[in-house]
Amino acid sequence: MRRHFFLIGALVVLVVMLVAGGLKFAVGAAGKGDAGGGPPAAGVAKRGPGGRGAPPPVSVVTAQPRAFMDTIEVLGVAKGIQSVTLTAATTQLVQRVRFSDGQQVPRGAVLVELKDTEQDAGLAQAEARQIQARRAFERYRTLGEKGFASKAATDQYEAAWLSAQADVAAARARQNDRLIRAPFSGVVGISDIAPGALVNPGAPIVTLDDLSTVRVDFQVPERYLAQLSEGQRITAAVDAYSGEVIEGRIAKLDTRVDERTRAITARAVFPNPARRLKPGMMVRVGVSRGERQGLALPESSVSVQGDAAFVFVLKRQGERTVTEQRPVVTGIRQQGFVEISDGLQAGERVVADGLHKIQPGQAVRPQNGPAKQAAGVPAATGTRSGA
């Protein structure tokens, strides 16, 4: 009996809690309803018919013809007009290093001296034999003139003297092998060579580059051979100086076309007075093929998705201006402009930027933006668009 009494009491408490919670919820809902019936809070925009806001403003640009420069773009590697890695001709210890890293050195300057004690001794010995041979020859020549020596003996001593002269020249050559000289004026690179180091024949000692002019060898397909000539002006660009155009010329064309690649090698030279171009840099070389007119738009007004490209063209629909998403065929790109080969007519207006915020068929409010001011920028070297 007591157990049933406790169960009944627990049920009564639970019912009372449920009723109290329901009353509290009803009172709160009524308060919110009264608050919602008043005027909207300050700063909240009033929506128009259909629940949509006012048309968003968009920058507009007009498709217009523009001069485009057709170019052949190829890659090459920069090298000094003269470049060499200096090595030793013999195995010997380094006695003295006479340059510092990055130093400009003249032609013939001694850069490294190798130990030459043995060569000095050999040269002194050869010179002593030369003096002895010369005196013997002069003595026998005098005797021969007086009739006291035969012509054969005089000729024999003359040959010995000439042989001694050759020995001296050989000894001096061996001594000069201990001096590593600059074969031309240039800038030495970074080297780890130090006095006391042992160098072997063919082992690199230091690099030397003439950076006053940079040369770039590149290959061009043979179908463009008629458009290449020695002395032709070309342009180049490097990643280190983005947006900067470097002017040069074609110095030489190879005498043969590679049978495997069907391309011809050309050598271009670029002035480098400030030494900004370094050997080993990747260079994008552009060879002009002529100028032509084409319909153009700023790059920001063309959206690329995979292999397709499209623009948002503005159309009048009653009193509204709406967007039409239209696919286009793109050509080359030059200084922020894209050539439109197909899909657009001159004079049509398109959305200039912010394409990710626009939907097809959306009503917009056109206004002239900064993109329209970009029209009329002179043409420059271009590349084929990937779209």
CATH code of the domain in which 302 resides: 2.40.420.20
**Same domain, yes or no: 220 and 298:** no
Domain of residue 127, CATH code: 1.10.287
Tell me whether residue 242 is in a domain: yes
pLDDT at 227: 86
Whole-number pLDDT of residue 258: 93
CATH code for the domain in which residue 276 is found: 2.40.30.170
In total, how many domains does the chain have?
A: 4
Q: Based on the domain organization, do 218 and 166 belong to the same domain?
A: no
197 and 141 within one domain: no
Q: Is residue 382 within 8 Å of 69, Cβ to Cβ? A: yes
Secondary structure class of 346 (helix, strand, coil):
coil
Is residue 319 included in any domain, yes or no? yes
- 194 & 105 share domain: yes
Boundary-marking domain end, from 136, 166, 201: 201
One domain, residues 276 and 303:
no
Predicted TM-score (pTM) above 0.85: no
Domain assignment present for residue 22? The answer is no
Contact residues for 274 (Cβ-Cβ < 8 A; gap 6+): none
Domain of residue 188, residue span? 89-112+182-201
Kindly state whether residues 93 and 142 are assigned to the same domain.
no
Does a structural domain hold residue 232?
yes
21 within a domain of the structure (yes/no)? no
CB atoms within 10 A of CB 210: 18
Do residues 366 and 320 both lie within one domain? Answer: yes
Q: Which of 315, 298, 284 is nearest to 355 (CA)?
A: 298
HSE (side-chain half, CA atoms, 13 Å) at 101 = 5
DSSP-assigned letters across all residues of 159-189:
HHHHHHHHHHHHHHHHHHTTEEE-SSSEEE-
Looking at the fold, whether 334 and 369 belong to one and the same domain comes out as yes
Look at residue 157 in the predicted model and tell me its pLDDT.
84
> Is-contact 302 330, C-beta < 8 A?
yes
Q: What pLDDT was estimated at residue 2?
A: 52
| 379 lies in the same domain as 302 | yes
- Is 301 domain-assigned? yes
Question: What's the confidence (pLDDT) of residue 254?
Answer: 94
Is the distance from CB of 301 to CB of 61 less than 8 angstroms? yes
Helix (H, G, I), strand (E, B) or coil at 205: strand
pLDDT value of position 53: 65
Domain boundary among 291, 318, 348: 291
Residues 304 and 375 in one domain: yes
Distances in Å between the Cα of 37 and the Cα atoms of 23, 46, 341 are 22, 15, 58
* Residue 101 sits in the same domain as residue 141: no
Q: Would 191 be classed as within a structural domain?
A: yes
Q: Does the residue 47 lie in any domain?
A: no
pLDDT of the chain along its 387 residues, tens only? 555 556 676 677 677 777 666 666 555 544 444 444 444 433 333 444 334 568 888 889 999 898 887 788 899 999 999 999 999 888 888 989 999 999 999 999 999 988 877 767 777 887 888 888 888 888 888 888 888 878 888 888 889 889 888 988 888 877 777 888 999 999 999 998 899 989 888 889 999 999 999 999 999 999 988 889 899 999 999 998 987 889 999 999 999 999 999 999 999 999 998 889 999 999 999 888 777 788 999 988 898 888 889 999 999 888 888 888 899 998 888 778 888 888 888 989 999 888 888 888 888 888 864 444 344 444 444 444 333
| Of 312, 286, 318, residue with least CA distance to 300 | 312
Question: Are both 120 and 103 inside the same structural domain?
Answer: no
